[in-house]
Amino acid sequence: GAGVSQSPRYKVAKRGQDVALRCDPISGHVSLFWYQQALGQGPEFLTYFQNEAQLDKSGLPSDRFFAERPEGSVSTLKIQRTQQEDSAVYLCASSSVGVMNTEAFFGQGTRLTVV
Amino acid sequence: GENVEQHPSTLSVQEGDSAVIKCTYSDSASNYFPWYKQELGKRPQLIIDIRSNVGEKKDQRIAVTLNKTAKHFSLHITETQPEDSAVYFCAAFLYSSASKIIFGSGTRLSIRP
């Protein structure tokens, strides 16, 4: 497709359930980023991939959060044993060069609600 | 730690007037400063960016200024229109981390008719 695609758009999970969020970046984009956006807040960095390598995961809030990009294209963000505080919009972004000092294109996000 | 502060958090201006949003950053090595516009329920979209080797950049009604010495940068929107109503985020690329953009907390801009 022409842009960054994320699925599902909406996800309701029961507390304690595992979830997996998918990101399809723009074809050929080297860099891929995950952000968490709480209601009324700016996006908070979670993790960064350059191709298949996860170069920075300093923003992952706990060991319940795990991200992968095994073939350097599609990425999955997995959250185990979801908690209510995990409720947020999860945004994926990609850019075309190896460092993020050029335009990053965002997906429409996945809104996760933990009940 | 690394930080981007953004002010004001909300801004209401009369249609046709100018709007100014200000941000400061903590890492003097930052070299790229994008601004994103996010409409309700939609993805953030880049509206303008500036690199550290210039002090000002303009694109029609939108301009951004950068003061590297003071470590602050500003977004200026002139002749505001109703479609400018949205949340605006400033951001700074932290060269030292070489990996991530840090976002400000956002400014909700409302244009009064």
Per run of 10 residues, the mean pLDDT along chain B (length 113 residues) is 88 97 91 92 91 90 96 97 96 68 90 94
Q: CA-based Rg of chain A, rounded to a whole angstrom? A: 13
Which of B10, B25, B43 is the best substitution to test chain A (most A C-beta atoms within 10 A)? B43
**What pLDDT was estimated at residue B97?**
52
Is residue B106 within 8 angstroms of chain A, CB to CB? yes
| CB-CB contact of A106 with A50 (8 Å) | no
Range A95-104 average pLDDT? 67
Instruction: Label residue A2 by pLDDT band (50, 70, 90).
Output: confident
The order of strands in the sheet holding A65-68 is A5-7, A19-24, A75-79, A65-68
| CB-CB contact of B100 with A45 (8 Å) | yes
The reply to whether residue B99 touches residue A56, judged by beta carbons under 8 angstroms, is: yes
* Beta-bridge partners for B37: B45, B88
Which of A4, A23, A45, A69 is the best substitution to test chain B (most B C-beta atoms within 10 A)? A45
CA separation, residue A100 to residues A45, B13, B75 (Å): 13, 33, 21
Instruction: Label residue A41 by pLDDT band (50, 70, 90).
Output: confident
The reply to whether residue A91 touches residue B51, judged by beta carbons under 8 angstroms, is: no
* Beta-bridge partners for B20: B76
Is residue B81 within 8 angstroms of chain A, CB to CB? no
The reply to whether residue B105 touches residue A42, judged by beta carbons under 8 angstroms, is: yes
